[in-house]
Amino acid sequence: MELPGAVQAWAVTDYELLRRLLADPRVSKDPRRHWPPFIKGAIPQDWPLYTWVAVTNMFTAYGADHRRLRRLISAAFTPRRTEALRPRIQQITDDLLEDLAALPPGQVVDLRETFAYQLPMRVIGTLLGLPEHSRDDIRRVVDSVFHTSADAEEILATQQDAYTILTNLIAAKRATPGDDMTSDLIAARDDDGGSWLSEAELVDTLFLMIAAGHETTVNLIDQAVHALLTHPDQLELVRSGQASWNDVIDETLRWQAPVANLPLRYAVEDLPLAEGGITIRKGEAILAGYAAAGRDPARHGGDADRFELTRATRGEHLAFGYGVHYCLGAPLARLEATTALSSLFGRFPDLALARSAETTQPLASFIANGHRTLPVTLQPAAAP
């Protein structure tokens, strides 16, 4: 296929093949070592996907570098630490729902903006110690990174803004450390003189955690709410106890993966595939088609396009990746989403879409998979 800028890549949409390639050590995410167009300088800085491939953090690292960078972050996402966040996540959720409950009955509310976005951003803000005054700027930058049809001016401005925001954050945390992950990473970098974490890796690691730490969860909550409201029979399965909120999360991840396609990976050597006699040649780029793999009828049956909470293969998705790059924040995203959904539908049993699903527009992105807005009514309009 052809990506923006006439960059060619293999789009892998078959579930089994994608799963196999994600775990194959002959597939890299490091363009500086394994992607000839990047090595030769043929990928300009204003390419719409430049940030996705050029950052220096565990997202693009390979081999020993990946293990080093992942080890620095993994301690923050242990099951114990994730579970310890449950009371804080519930409190944030309750506060947001309290604000929504104060709105007049029947008023149309953009639930993506007022709830699905707010919860993950406040959680990642707590984890990283992000100051309140910087969060709107951070949101603007992250939204732009996921905007895959951005023009050159927006792309370059976004890159500049992102690094200005992050270097200012690091400077502030160096001057006044806090009980947060940003301060911990700075300490890890400064205490050993940068031998385990360079300054560039520190900045890009924070960028990765902010972007991955909220955008995907926003889309997960957004898509789950939309799916349940457009499939009332499935919502009734949850309310009657025939399906759980965990079932909702897994089927949503399969049916509408929060990240539809993820750039990029590269063949370290020629990869002959049994499928169709195709060979992915050394240095060729690969785009992981998570959304398509979730609808693969070979894995999920002929009705793979249906949202079905009792589907036997609902947990067999690749929405959080697979192999060494499996998402470290997956347990946290699940915790946020289950808390959000159970609390939302418990507080507002009459929740309904404010207009037909056909007019709800998708994001302008082939990476992020969510809606531009999610207009709902929380409770029936008050009687005249």
- At residue 194, the pLDDT reads 64
Take residue 108 and report the two structure tokens written for it: 């149309």
CB atoms within 10 A of CB 105: 12
Q: For 164-222, how does the pLDDT look when each residue is reduced to its tens digit (9 = 90+)?
A: 989 999 999 999 999 888 998 898 888 876 677 888 999 999 988 888 878 899 999 99
* Gap between the Cα atoms of 58 and 29, Å rounded: 9
Write out the two tokens for 163: 């690094």
- Check if the beta carbon of residue 336 is closer than 8 Å to that of residue 213: no
In this model, does residue 298 exceed pLDDT 90?
Answer: yes
| Minimum mean pLDDT range among 164-178, 335-349, 350-364 | 350-364
* Range of lowest pLDDT (179-183, 311-315, 370-374): 179-183
- Reference 231, options 352, 75, 89; nearest CA is 352
Mean pLDDT of 326-330: 93
245-255 and 232-239 helices cross at what angle (nearest 10)? 150
Provide the 8-state DSSP code for 258. Answer: S
CA–CA distance, 60 with 35 (Å, rounded to integer):
12
Question: pLDDT > 70: what percent of the chain?
Answer: 98
Q: What does the alpha-carbon distance between residue 224 and residue 333 come to, in Å, rounded to a whole number? A: 13
Q: Which residue has the higher pLDDT, 74 or 296?
A: 296
Query: 383 pLDDT exceeds 70?
Result: no
> What residues have CB less than 8 Å from 226, skipping those under 6 apart?
353, 357, 360, 371, 374
Rounded Cα distance, 115 and 100, in Å: 9
Q: pLDDT-derived band of residue 359, with 50, 70 and 90 as boundaries?
A: confident
Would you say residue 79 has pLDDT above 90? no
Q: CA of 265: how far to CAs of 17, 122, 259, 284, 355, in Å?
A: 14, 31, 15, 8, 39
For the segment 35-42, the average pLDDT, to the nearest whole number, is 97
* Out of 50-64, 69-83, 101-115, 217-231, least confident range: 69-83
Q: Which of 27-31, 91-95, 211-215 has the lowest mean pLDDT?
A: 211-215
Is the separation of the CB atoms in 319 and 258 below 8 Å?
yes
Per residue in 222-238, pLDDT tens? 999 999 999 999 999 99
**E-strand stretches of the chain:** 2-3, 7-8, 10-12, 27-28, 108-110, 262-267, 271-272, 279-280, 285-288, 352-353, 375-377
| Higher pLDDT, residue 131 or 267 | 267
Query: 354 vs 102, 110, 157, CA distance in Å?
Result: 18, 9, 36
Whether residue 357 has pLDDT greater than 60: no
**What is the overall mean pLDDT for the chain?**
92
Looking up tokens 């052809």 gives 2
Helix (H, G, I), strand (E, B) or coil at 21: helix
Q: Which of 358, 255, 238 is nearest to 316 (CA)?
A: 255
3-state SS, one letter per residue, for 94-149:
HHHHHHHHCCCCCCEEEHHHHHHCHHHHHHHHHHHCCCHHHHHHHHHHHHHHCCCC
For the residues 322-335, what does the mean pLDDT come to? 94
pLDDT score for 294: 98
According to the model, what pLDDT value does residue 10 have?
Answer: 97
Would you state the pLDDT for residue 377? 94
- Cβ atoms 113, 328 nearer than 8 A: no
pLDDT of residue 380: 83
pLDDT at 356 (0 to 100)? 59
pTM confidence score: 0.94
For each of the domains in the chain, give its residue range(s) and CATH number, in order of start: 2-377 (1.10.630.10)
Most distant CA atoms of the chain, gap in Å: 71
